[in-house]
Amino acid sequence: MTAQLERSLVIIKPDGYRRGLTGEVLRRIEAKGYTIAKLQVTEATRDQLDAHYAEHEGKPFYEPLVEFMSSGPIVVAVIEGNDCIKGFRSLAGATNPTEAAPGSIRGDLGRDWGLKVQQNIVHGSDSTESAEREIAIWF
């Protein structure tokens, strides 16, 4: 089985940006061997967030998530590399920083926010279809 060259969207969320972790997250992405193809600091619009999180609309955590994601600057990046979608999700660690393995971004840098697991430093696309859709929203 050969590795597949992929593209993925990575977002450094407002908590990661606010805590000055952008450089560390990008360093880890590059150290893993992935290329940063596009990069920008931006503030998310409601339209972008509604499109990005469309599958979660109507769920109890939706509005708090959108509110959090619009609470400050974010960094959006397109990364490229062999199997980078699966690889970055492993590098990011479990969604809940308390459960994330040491060595992962969330395991090393995340904080226990109680029920606010959306404050977990990073987002990474979960499939090639999601990556294509998400990249089109942000770039």
Alpha-carbon Rg for the chain in angstroms: 14
Which pLDDT score is estimated for 57? 95
Tell me if 96 is assigned to a ligand binding site: no
The mean of the pLDDT values for the chain is 93
Proportion of the chain above pLDDT 90, given as a percent:
85
CA–CA separation, 118 vs 64, rounded Å? Answer: 9
Q: Diameter of the chain by CA atoms?
A: 43
In whole angstroms, what separates CA 5 from the centre of its chain?
A: 19
CA–CA separation, 79 vs 26, rounded Å? Answer: 10
- HEC string of 9-66? EEEECHHHHHCCCHHHHHHHHHHCCCEEEEEEEECCCHHHHHHHCHHHCCCCCHHHHH
Tell me if 98 is assigned to a ligand binding site: no
Tell me if 82 is assigned to a ligand binding site: no
Residue-wise over 30-59: b if at least 16 C-beta within 10 A, else e? Answer: eeeebeeeeeeeeebeeebbeebbeeeeee
Tell me if 95 is assigned to a ligand binding site: yes
Q: What residues contact residue 126 under an 8 Å CB cut-off, 6+ apart?
A: 85, 89
Domains and CATH numbers, the chain: 5-138 (3.30.70.141)
Read off the pTM. 0.93
Active-site residue set? 123
On the question of pLDDT at 16 being above 50, the answer is yes
Over residues 45-86, the pLDDT tens digits come to 999 999 999 999 999 989 999 999 999 999 999 999 999 999
Residue with tokens 């999700």: 89
* Least confidently predicted of 6-15, 116-125, 128-137: 116-125
- 128: tokens are 């090639």
Distances (CA, A) of 94 to 39, 42, 106, 117, 137: 24, 25, 7, 10, 24
